[in-house]
Structure 1
Amino acid sequence: MPISDRMGAKGAAVVAALGVLALSGCDANGEFAGRSAFGHGPVTALRVAQNSVTVVGPAGYCIDKSGSRDRDSGSFVLLGSCATLNGEPEGPTAPGVLTALVSPETDQPQAPTAAQLERFLRSTSGRAALSHDNRADTVTLLDIRRNGDVLLLKVRDRSTGRPDDLQDTSWRAVLAMKGRLVALSVHSHEAVPMTDAQMRQTLDRFLAAMRAANAAPVPDQEA
C-alpha cells in the first residue's frame, strides 16, 4: 500500500530511529563525526545529512558542537543559548535546550503526513520511540495536534537515562523535510524553567527558522 494511504513499516522504522537518536544524542561525548573544522565559538547554522538539511535555531540560539553528531545513521544537533555557549553571564530569558534530529537517507524519500505520524506515535511502538529507554510506559502524550504537515506533541518522558538537569516535559514537532524526517524539540532546564507557553513559542520559532533555512530556491523567471 502506498505511503499516501498508510505510513508503512519503513516509515515507522524511520520514526523509531529518531527515538534512538534522541537517546544517544543526549549523551553525546563531544564527537561530531565527519565535521572536524567548525572554527572557534558557537555557530548559528549547520548543514547535516550529506548537506541536505540546514539546522538553525531561533534568534539567540546557537549550535553546541560538542553535543552534536552527523552520521550515516542519522544526525543529532544540540542547540543552546548563544550567550551561554560563548561563556557570557546573560542570555535569553529562561533559555531552553533545543534538539534537531534528522533521519538517515532511505531508498524512497520520507513524506508521511501529520495524520500518518500521529497514528504511529499514538501506538505503543510510537510512544516507545519517544522514550529515552525505548519503553512506551514511560511516555505520556499530554497534547498532540496537527498543524498542516507538522505534528506537534507535548510529551512527558519519565524514562531512566533522561538528563537530570532537564524537566521531564517537552514540546516536539515532527515533519517531513527534503525527503527526510525531522524532529525538533524544546526542553526546559530544572534550575531556570520555562513556562509551557514559552516552550511552545520557542518551538514555533524553531520550526519557522528551519522552514526558512530549508525553503526551496525560487527559480529564475525569464523576462
Structure 2
Amino acid sequence: MAMRVALAACLALALAACEVPEGGELRFAPGAGAGISAGRDALTGEEEAAPIRAVEMAGGAVVVAGPRGYCIDPETVSARGGGGFAMLASCRILAGSGPAVAPALITVTVGARERAPVLPDPATLARLVGGPAASAETSEGFVSLQIQEGGDTVLAGGDGRYWRGAFLQGPRLVSLALYAPEGSRLAGAPGRALLAEVRRAIAAASPETGTLPGGG
C-alpha cells in the first residue's frame, strides 16, 4: 500500500512532478488484474503491481485506457457483474516516469451488458450522483457535468468540485469521475476536456462500437 499512500500525498500537494519509487514497466494487461507484473517498493521492499496502460473488462469487450500521461493503478482494478472498475492517475506519480500532466484521480466504472442501454441525460445523472451540479453538457453521445461539492471527501486535499461523465460503449454504460487537488485547473472546464479524452481513449481501444462519429 505504500504506492497508494504516496499517490494520495502527491495529489493532495498538486505536485505533477512528484515521484514514487518505480514499480515496473508500463504495459498492457490482458485482463482485469490478470498477468500484471510486480515490482519491488524501494522503501519497504514489498512487491507491488506495476501501473499499466490499459486493461480489458467485460471479457475483453471494453478496454479501459487513458490519454497520454495517465496510467491505470492495477490494485484498483476489479470485475463486477459483467463490468468492472479501475482508477487512473498520472503515470509519473504512479511509476516515477512519464510525461508531466496535471495530477488527478479518474475512476472508470463499466456497467453490465444491457439489451437496450440508455444514456442518462444531465439531469438524471445529477440526480443519481446526488449533488448540486453545473456546466451540464451532452456532446457526441457524452454526458458530462460538474458537481459543486463533495470532491474533497473523496480525495484528501482535493477540490470540492469534481466532474462526472457517462457514455455508451456498445451495449454498456460507462461512468467516469474526475477528482483534482484543490485549486487545480482540472476542477474547472479542463476537467471536462480530460474526461472526454478518457472516453475517446476507451472507445479507440475497445472492440465494441461506441457512439463517436464514424462508429469510433
Q: Check whether the contact 1:140–1:155 (CA below 8 A) recurs between aligned residues.
A: yes
Q: Note the C-alpha offset of 1:216.
A: 5.0
Return the alpha-carbon distance in structure 2 between the equivalents of residues 58 and 188 of structure 1.
16
TM-score between both structures, scaled by the size of structure 1: 0.64
2:184: which partner in 1?
Answer: 193
**What runs of 5+ residues in structure 2 fail to find an aligned partner?**
1-30, 39-49, 210-216
RMSD: 2.7
Q: Check whether the contact 1:75–1:103 (CA below 8 A) recurs between aligned residues.
A: yes
Return the alpha-carbon distance in structure 1 between the equivalents of residues 135 and 152 of structure 2.
22
Q: Check whether the contact 1:96–1:194 (CA below 8 A) recurs between aligned residues.
A: no
Q: Check whether the contact 1:175–1:182 (CA below 8 A) recurs between aligned residues.
A: yes
Deviations 1:126-163 (A, max 9, x none): x2x31xxxxx3xx1111211103221111123289533
Structure 1 residues 160 and 63, CA gap change in structure 2 (3 angstroms): closer
1:98: which partner in 2?
Answer: 106
Is the aligned partner of 1:156 residue 2:164?
no
TM-score between both structures, scaled by the size of structure 2: 0.66
Out of 33, 37, 54, the residue aligned to residue 45 of structure 1 is: 54
Indicate the percent of aligned positions where both proteins have the same amino acid. 24
Matched length: 167
1:8: which partner in 2?
Answer: none
Q: Note the C-alpha offset of 1:91.
A: 4.9
Structure 1 residues 118 and 93, CA gap change in structure 2 (3 angstroms): closer
1:35: which partner in 2?
Answer: 33
1:84: which partner in 2?
Answer: 93
Is the aligned partner of 1:206 residue 2:202?
no
Deviations 1:80-100 (A, max 9, x none): 111111134x75242211111
Q: Check whether the contact 1:43–1:63 (CA below 8 A) recurs between aligned residues.
A: yes
1:176: which partner in 2?
Answer: 168
Return the alpha-carbon distance in structure 1 between the equivalents of residues 105 and 99 of structure 2.
13
Structure 1 residues 81 and 52, CA gap change in structure 2 (3 angstroms): same
Q: Note the C-alpha offset of 1:119.
A: 4.5
1:20: which partner in 2?
Answer: none
**What runs of 5+ residues in structure 1 fail to find an aligned partner?**
1-32, 131-135, 218-223
1:54: which partner in 2?
Answer: 63
SS at match of 1:202: helix
Return the alpha-carbon distance in structure 2 between the equivalents of residues 34 and 80 of structure 1.
17
Return the alpha-carbon distance in structure 2 between the equivalents of residues 79 and 210 of structure 1.
12
